[in-house]
Amino acid sequence: MNAPASVPLPWSRGRWSGAVLLLTIAQVGLIFWLSERKPIVPRRTDSTTTVHLLAEAPPGSAIAELLNIDDPTLVALPDLRGFSGPAWMTAPPLQHQSRDWTEPARSLALPVAELGATFAQFVRTNVVGPGLLADKPAPRLSEVGFSPVPMPATSTFRIEGDLAKRELLTPLEVLSIPHTNILTNTVVQVCVDRLGFVFSPVQLSGSGSETADQRALDLAKSMRFKPVAGTDRALPRNALELTWGTIIFRWVTLEMPASNSPAARPPP
């Protein structure tokens, strides 16, 4: 017969209690051995207000520690001094390249030694002969046609401004002026009442001839325009009902008659 195998005996309650007590004593001993023996000094309260003007507090200094403690947004908001600084605020910016990206314009390098090479090659390959006159003859001046400019036969006048809207009742004939030179236009400003009478003619510009300018003033005074509808002759003239305008006289001059006739030749 074989001998029965040895079976380990179970631990008793006292043995377990002793093992737990030894482990507890060893853990407490390690804590006291590895802990710091410096006494804890309470921080004194300072009732005075201190102002520190710093562009940036040195890391690890007392002022930096105070700023970290007194900042109410140190944990609530992202900040370089909090836990979110190394994770969020110091991340490098992402570099993204769009598909529609085009290369920026870059100027081509211009070699100084090749300046003028194209022009020099053109001169070598193209022979220019002596300059010759055109084979086509010059046009004859006598055969160049021109359209004649119509010249007015008599002097005329033109009405401009608000007065041009009113009808002229009296026919006006402007005669030509005998003069040795060409005369410019005579411009006369007039005002017409509701009855159609002209008064207060004023000469704005002259023609160069006193006779022509005086004749223009006389012709302007003799004009009569159509009265305004609903006008009563018994009513006084109202200055607000005047019609203003300008009359431009365009003069046509005539050749002056000869003042001295040629002397008669004696009979042979």
CATH number of the domain encompassing residue 243: 3.30.2420
In a domain, 205, yes or no: yes
Q: Which residues are CB-contacts of 223 (< 8 A; sequence separation ≥ 6)?
A: 168, 170, 172, 190, 198, 247
| pLDDT value at 52 more than 70 | no
What is the pTM assigned to this prediction? 0.40
Cα three-residue angle 122-127-133, rounded to 5 degrees: 125
User: Which domain, by its residues, includes 171?
Assistant: 156-230+239-254
In a domain, 26, yes or no: no
Residues 80 and 161 reside in one and the same domain: no
In a domain, 8, yes or no: no
Last residue of a domain, one of 86, 103, 133: 86
In a domain, 16, yes or no: no
In a domain, 97, yes or no: no
| pLDDT value at 167 more than 80 | yes
Mean pLDDT of 30-55: 73
In a domain, 161, yes or no: yes
| pLDDT value at 1 more than 50 | no
In a domain, 160, yes or no: yes
In a domain, 140, yes or no: no
Count of domains in the chain? 2
CB 113 within 8 A of CB 121: no
CB 165 within 8 A of CB 192: no
d(CA 184, CA 180): 13
Mean pLDDT of 124-130: 75
Chain segment 73-124, per-residue pLDDT in tens: 666 676 666 666 777 767 777 777 777 778 888 887 778 888 888 888 888 8
